[in-house]
Amino acid sequence: MKTKLLTSLLAGIVAAAPAFAELTFSSLSYRTGPYAANGIPLADGYADYMTLLNERDGGIGGVKTRVIECETGYNTEKGVECYEATKGEGVLVYEPYSTGMTYQLIPKTAADGIALHTGGYGRTSAKNGEVFRNVFNYPANYWDGASGAINHLLDINGGNIQGKKVALVYHNSAYGKEPIRTLEVLAEKHGYELSLLPVDHPGQEQKSQWLQIRRDRPDYVLMWGWGVMNQVAIQEAVNIRFPMENFIGVWWSGSENDVVPAGPKANGYKSLTFHGVGNEFPVLDEIKKYVVDAGKAAGAGDQVGTVLYNRGMYMAMLHSEAARTAQKMTGNSDVSQGDMIKAMEAFEMTEAKMV
């Protein structure tokens, strides 16, 4: 797999077109900036899985994959610049890992006829395929996360959370605000009292929010956080002795980076997820054999098996299987951007494919 790291537009697309057909994917990475600790394993997992397909299988349907990595620093403007600099390379699908970038790229990818995948983030209403024909947010979105968290509370309370107090600590951004309306509707339905506690970027200062939690004594705290905000929130919960078993984060608040700083005191904290965690999967053994040990890893190889590495790998698997579906649908090994959109519409993930 050829990986280009575009650190600026000047370092952009100057290479000649490849002599042989390739299936081109994009990685709008953030190995630098305030969220680098999370961005690095995401980018590594994505790139390493694509490399695995090349080294183990000879690509997808006999066509090698290429990942164009463009560094955004988790900056929306840079993300848009990366998109503009790479879209002419035949990128089949974009995965920005940023709700802010997603909102900016939705109209651009729609106009350009390119698939946009925002797995587990982005604009939740993009699930409506009749309106957003090229945007896909499977396997889960923030409304799913909000309802999943409330369903868990119902499960552990015998189906009744009438009168319970639920606080939402959220990143004060488009991302963090996504679950609010769903939680408000569910509060009307189930009779719980919802309080909203925004945390400004990057989230290092949360004293006032947790003092309010200490004063209001909610039964449960939900968190829509990212980066340092998560570990600060967990530490603040420890400081006020909030029962960790009643503290639940969304899937972007559930990596090793979030809980390790608090040590054993974080025990009991939970987060939602939509993919497997841990390193006891055969595919990770194959990545170690064909990619890491072969010196072809995108990073140092130390992130393999971590939550966010697995998530990046999972997204790469979805994209590669969609490309494989496009090949089967068209009967051609090469895949166009339009083919990819149709394949992502028709794509089904089965247990057999996962195995």
Do 66 and 102 reside in the same domain of the chain?
yes
Total number of domains constituting the chain: 2
Do 27 and 45 reside in the same domain of the chain?
yes
Nearest to 82 by CA among 73, 313, 247: 73
Do 267 and 149 reside in the same domain of the chain?
yes
Q: Which of 271, 305, 324 is the last residue of a domain?
A: 271
Q: For residues 263-278, give the mean pLDDT.
A: 96
Residue 347's pLDDT is 87
Residue 2's pLDDT is 41
Q: What is the pLDDT of residues 108-154, one digit of tens each?
A: 999 999 999 999 999 999 999 999 999 999 999 999 999 999 999 99
- The sheet carrying 220-224 orders its strands as 193-199, 165-171, 220-224, 247-249, 270-271
Q: Flag the least confident range among 57-61, 104-108, 274-278, 338-342.
A: 274-278
Do 22 and 114 reside in the same domain of the chain?
yes
Do 81 and 161 reside in the same domain of the chain?
no
Q: For residues 5-24, give the mean pLDDT.
A: 49
Do 23 and 69 reside in the same domain of the chain?
yes
Residue 6's pLDDT is 42
Torsion angle defined by CA atoms of residues 234, 235, 236 and 242, in that order, rounded to the nearest 10 degrees? 60
Do 206 and 101 reside in the same domain of the chain?
no
Contacting residues for 117 by C-beta, under 8 A, at least 6 apart: 93, 94, 95, 135, 136, 137, 315, 318, 319, 344
Q: For residues 42-68, give the mean pLDDT.
A: 98
What is the number of alpha carbons within 13 Å of residue 346 lying toward its C-beta? 14
Q: For residues 210-234, give the mean pLDDT.
A: 98
Residue 80, domain CATH: 3.40.50.2300
Do 347 and 246 reside in the same domain of the chain?
no
pTM of the model: 0.91
Beta-bridge partners for 66 = 24
Q: Which of 256, 271, 286 is the last residue of a domain?
A: 271
Contacting residues for 159 by C-beta, under 8 A, at least 6 apart: none
Residue 109: count of CB within 10 angstroms of its CB: 24
Residue 20's pLDDT is 59
Do 156 and 260 reside in the same domain of the chain?
yes
DSSP 58-87: SSBTTBEEEEEEEE-TT-HHHHHHHHHHHG
Do 130 and 9 reside in the same domain of the chain?
yes
Contact 226, 253 (CB under 8 A): yes
Q: Which of 226, 242, 271 is the last residue of a domain?
A: 271
Domain limits for position 158 = 142-271
Do 10 and 135 reside in the same domain of the chain?
yes
- The sheet carrying 135-136 orders its strands as 93-94, 115-117, 135-136
Strand, coil or helix: 137: coil
Nearest to 26 by CA among 349, 326, 355, 340: 340
What is the residue type of 317?
Answer: M
Phi, psi for residue 85 in degrees, rounded to 5:
-75, -20
Do 237 and 185 reside in the same domain of the chain?
yes
